[in-house]
Amino acid sequence: MATLVSEGVELEHRGPEIAPGSQEAKAPLALSAGQPQLDPGGAVEDPFIWRLSRHIPMVARGCDIRIRAKVCGRSTSVHGVGAIQTSVTCTFTFEAAHHLDWHTGKCKNLHGHSYRLDVTVAGGLDANGVVVDFDILNSVVQREVIDQWDHRDLNEVIDNPTAELLAHRAWELLAAGGLAVSALRLWETPGSWVDLTLPEPS
C-alpha cells in the first residue's frame, strides 16, 4: 500500500505492490488535464480538484484507488475500483391512461397502466464524491415528468402515446429541465419496457 498526500488530499493505493525502480513505480499518476502529477515516490505541492472517472493510470491496471479530500472544510472520501464508469439511477412510478387508435387489439380502447420510469445519469464524480445529488435527480424528474403525467389521459399529453414515444418525450423534458440523462427505461407493464441510451462515441 502506498499513500500520497497533498494539501487537504490523500490518495491511497491498495492493490498489487509496485516494486521500487519498476516501470510502474516511475510512471506518474496523471490526475486530469492541467492538474499536477502525483508521483509514487513523492507528493504534489498544490491542491487539486480530481475526477475519479478520468484520472490515475493505476485504475486501468486494476488497482483499488481510495481518495480522501477536504471539501468546503469537511472531509469526504471516494472509493473507486478499476476503470468502472459511475452511474446513478432513480425509479419513479405513475398511473396513467391511454388508447392507441391504430391498434387492432384491446389497446384501441381506453385503458390504464401502472408505469415505472428509471432515469440514469452517468459521469465523473464531483468534489463531493457524487455524479449528481439524488435530491436534484428526484426533483427534476418529479417536476418535469411525474407531476405532468400522473393520473392523466396521456392522449392529452402527446399524440399516439406509445411507450416508445412517451420515453422519448420524457427524455426531452428532462434534458430541457437541465438533467444530463444517459439512460432511461420506461416500463408499461412489469414485463414490457422501452430502453433509451446515448449512442456510443464514434
For residue 103, is pLDDT > 60? yes
Q: Which residue has the higher pLDDT, 128 or 33?
A: 128
What is the structure's pLDDT at 19? 52
Active site residue: 107, 113, 164, 168, which one? 107
Last residue of a domain, one of 81, 103, 137: 81
**Same-domain status, 70 and 117:** no
Mean of pLDDT values over 12-23 = 50
Same domain, 61 and 97: no
The whole-number average pLDDT for the span 2-9 is 41
CATH number (domain holding residue 149): 3.30.479.10
Q: Is 188 a catalytic residue?
A: yes
Residues 13 and 66 in one domain: yes
Judged by average pLDDT, the poorest of 58-62, 68-72, 122-126, 151-155 is 58-62
Residues 71 and 92 in one domain: no
Known catalytic membership, residue 107: yes
**Predicted TM-score of the model (pTM):** 0.61
- Under 8 Å between Cβ of 9 and 36: no
Give the chain's end-to-end CA distance (angstroms, integer).
38
Question: Does 76 have pLDDT greater than 60?
Answer: no
Domain enclosing residue 141, as ranges: 87-197
Question: Domain end: 29, 48, 81, which one?
Answer: 81
The total of structural domains in the chain comes to 2
Write the CB contacts of 96 (distance below 8 Å, at least 6 apart in sequence).
112, 113, 115, 149, 150, 151, 152, 153, 154
Pair (98, 190) in one structural domain: yes
Point out the least confidently predicted range of 25-39, 102-116, 144-158, 159-173.
Answer: 25-39
Shared-domain flag, residues 66 and 97: no
* 60 and 99 co-located in one domain: no
Give yes or no: residues 96 and 50 share one domain: no
Q: Decide if 202 is inside a domain.
A: no
Examine the domain organization and report whether 24 and 118 are in the same domain.
no
Instruction: Tell me what the mean pLDDT of segment 56-80 comes to.
Output: 42
Same domain, 27 and 102: no
Catalytic entry in 45, 72, 151, 200: 151
Least confident of 35-44, 100-109, 120-129: 35-44
Whether residues 92 and 162 fall in one domain: yes
Which of residues 47, 65, 81 is at a domain's end?
81
Q: Is position 105 within any domain? A: yes
Same domain? For 116 and 66 the reply is no
12 catalytically annotated: no
